[in-house]
Amino acid sequence: MSEGIDEGLRSKLQQQGVWVTSVQELYNWGRKNSIWPLQFGLACCAIEMIATAASRYDIARFGGEVFRPSPRQADLMIVAGTVTKKMAPQIVRLYNQMADPKYVIAMGACAISGGPFKQGYNVLKGIDRYIPVDVYIPGCPPRPEALLHAFMELQSKIDEQKLSGANKAAHLEPEEPSEFPVPEFGKHDLEPPANPNVFRPPAIERA
Amino acid sequence: MTPNPYLFIVIFIGVALVFPLIPLALAWLWRRVFQPPKPGPQKNAIYECGVESLGEAQIQFRSQYYLYAIIFLIFDVEAIFLVPFAVAFTGLPVGAFIAILVFLLLLIEGLIWAWSKGCLQWER
């Protein structure tokens, strides 16, 4: 839709005081500035998330201060902390219960890979094994500035989502799934250990 | 010709109806044109903090719990009054001593009654 506007004409109009926009830009502008995160924390990263939401760092400046205690009202899931294998099914179920469009920020080393507990028997090696993650934040724990940066990255990602066309946003595609299978407790590990439709790790190349 | 004095109320009702209906109609149009609905068994399930909900929402507590409350009262009130009694024990006149003994006997009588009734036996 914004492809329809000639950029030169647009800036010329703007110099004359005429502001031209498109439905897609308005839609994304509204969405990216009122992201409602889901209110839950898993470990020490949650303390940093609380600090980000509080007055000193103030995520409200970016329109993300309305932490909702129900997945029905939330757009963003901030996976803040260690995801144990006992907790992973609940996380996936909560993600499934969120309304589209929904986004995930994996906050901290544990949420993105298992972190210092990666070799442990009871910690999931990254939440991206089961649900699609939009922004990863490294750090143990990441500082509130890092979460704010991830939030801004997510906002720019939302801003670039297409409303129509071949590569439109996933939540607008009727075939794209909105729910992902919840892992179950097997004999030794979660079954399945990862969702192959979601988890596509980069192949490790060794020389 | 002066307009009807109630005309502004009619206009007000009209605006009050149209004002919320426009966003609702826009949202409906948006859903029809752009956003496909994606319901699912888990998305439509009852929300309970991520765990699957178990059982019925309307559960009843057994009326047997009132016995717990009464027996708790016996022990609790007894303990509260026993402490100042024990502290002031050496300086008590005979009348006060007998009064506190009567009080204790009343509570112990209640305990014996509850015991003999089988209330201390928790069934199911």
Which of A94, A171, A178 is closest, CB to CB, to B40?
A178
Which of B36, B38, B43 is closest, CB to CB, to A97?
B43
pLDDT of residue A100: 86
A107 CB-side CA count, 13 A: 34
User: B49 vs A182: CB contact, 8 Å cut-off?
Assistant: no
A and B: number of Cβ contacts within 8 A: 45
Residues of chain B neighbouring A96 (CB-CB closer than 8 A): 40, 42-43
> Which residues, other chains included, contact A66 with Cβ-Cβ below 8 Å and sequence gap of 6+?
A34, A36, A37
Most B-contacting residue of A24, A90, A93 (CB-CB within 10 A), to test interface:
A93
Most A-contacting residue of B26, B48, B49, B53 (CB-CB within 10 A), to test interface:
B49
Taking the C-alpha atoms of residue A43 and residue A152, their distance in angstroms, rounded to an integer, is: 23
Q: A12-55: per-residue pLDDT in tens?
A: 998 999 888 888 889 999 999 999 999 989 999 999 999 999 99
Residue A182 contacts B, CB cutoff 8 Å: yes
Ranges of H-type helices in A54-164: 88-97, 108-113, 144-159
Q: How many residues does chain B have?
A: 124
For residue A130, pLDDT over 80 is answered with yes
> Which residues, other chains included, contact A63 with Cβ-Cβ below 8 Å and sequence gap of 6+?
A32, A33, A34, A35
Taking the C-alpha atoms of residue B121 and residue B119, their distance in angstroms, rounded to an integer, is: 5
For residue A1, pLDDT over 50 is answered with no
User: A90 vs B49: CB contact, 8 Å cut-off?
Assistant: yes
Q: A186-204: per-residue pLDDT in tens?
A: 888 888 888 888 888 888 8
pLDDT of residue A193: 87
Residues of chain A neighbouring B40 (CB-CB closer than 8 A): 96, 178-179
B30: distance to nearest CA of chain A, Å? Answer: 10
What average pLDDT does range A152-157 have in this prediction?
Answer: 95
Peptide bond just before A101 cis, omega within 30 deg: yes
What average pLDDT does range A163-183 have in this prediction?
Answer: 87
pLDDT of residue B65: 78
Fold observed for domain A37-161: Rossmann fold (3.40.50)
**What is the ipTM metric for this complex?**
0.74
User: A94 vs B42: CB contact, 8 Å cut-off?
Assistant: no
Confidence band (pLDDT; 50, 70, 90) for A87?
Answer: very high
A188: distance to nearest CA of chain B, Å? Answer: 21
Residues of chain A neighbouring B43 (CB-CB closer than 8 A): 96-97, 99, 178-179
Cα A200 to the center of its chain, rounded Å = 17
For residue A82, pLDDT over 60 is answered with yes
Taking the C-alpha atoms of residue A179 and residue A82, their distance in angstroms, rounded to an integer, is: 22
Encode chain B (124 residues) as per-residue pLDDT tens digits: 788 889 999 999 999 999 999 999 999 998 888 888 888 888 888 887 888 888 887 888 777 778 778 888 888 888 888 888 888 888 888 998 899 889 889 888 888 988 888 877 776 5
pLDDT of residue A4: 65
User: B42 vs A171: CB contact, 8 Å cut-off?
Assistant: no
- What is the residue extent of each domain of chain A? 37-161
For residue A170, pLDDT over 90 is answered with no
pLDDT of residue B123: 67
Residues of chain B neighbouring A97 (CB-CB closer than 8 A): 42-43, 45, 47, 50
Residues of chain B neighbouring A182 (CB-CB closer than 8 A): 42
Average pLDDT, chain A: 90
Which of B34, B41, B49 is closest, CB to CB, to A172?
B34
Residue A33 contacts B, CB cutoff 8 Å: no
